[in-house]
Amino acid sequence: MEVMNKGKVILQKFCEEFKKENYDVLFIEAGTEDELDVLQVFVNLDDEWQQQRVEIRAIPQIPFSKGQDPESHPLYIRIEFLLHFNIDIQNESVPQIESSVCIFNTLVDLPGFEYNAIDDVIQFRTVQFMREDAIDPKFALGLIGAIVLYHRLYGPSFEKIAKGELTLDEILQNSISLLTET
């Protein structure tokens, strides 16, 4: 099998696993050589069943050693998970959002919050490198669960900061007072 097709095969395995667990999924095949296949997993992010998609890409990392056969090395796959937060950000809130990203990333086991200034969006992105023969589709289920949990825990704070309703300091003070109430 051609090395670049292995990413597609992994995404298709993930797709089957998500369907078994009753997730809505959409597999989008690359249209050109320059594009990547994408698996979109639709997740419910809040109590009102707001659905958003987590995009997953699997990119084989071709080992390169001059004069050596790439097939003689184990193949590693770069697997990227990406969720865009559906939040409008006021320009004056950007410094607060950037600080929040830094602080919130220290509070989670799998840091991945980012502020994408080009697209003006808060996102959660994590990249995992795994040997092809060690990839278990259930690992993707666990990562999706963590991403949904982080969105539920930190999304409301990001939204209040982005709208200018609260500052990061106020959110941290509120959190501290909740923890110290007896």
What CATH number is given to the structural domain containing 100? Answer: 3.30.1460.70
Residue 45 binned pLDDT confidence (cut-offs 50, 70, 90): confident
Q: What is the mean pLDDT of residues 44-62?
A: 82
Is the model's pLDDT at 177 over the cut of 90?
no
Rounded Cα gap, residues 128 and 136, in angstroms: 12
Taking only the tens place, the pLDDT of each residue in 143-170 is: 999 999 999 899 999 999 999 999 999 9
Average predicted confidence (pLDDT) for the chain: 88
Q: Report helix, strand and coil shares of the chain as percent, to nearest 5.
A: 40, 25, 30
Residue 99 binned pLDDT confidence (cut-offs 50, 70, 90): very high
Rounded Cα gap, residues 110 and 96, in angstroms: 21
Cα angle, residue 147 at apex, residues 5 and 116 outer, rounded to 5°: 80
Structural domain count, the chain: 1
Domain range spanning residue 139? 5-180
Identify whether the C-beta of residue 112 lies closer than 8 Å to the C-beta of residue 79. Answer: no
Q: Using the 8-state DSSP alphabet, how is residue 166 labeled?
A: S
Taking only the tens place, the pLDDT of each residue in 4-35 is: 688 899 999 999 999 999 999 999 998 887 78
Q: Give the predicted TM-score (pTM) of the model.
A: 0.87
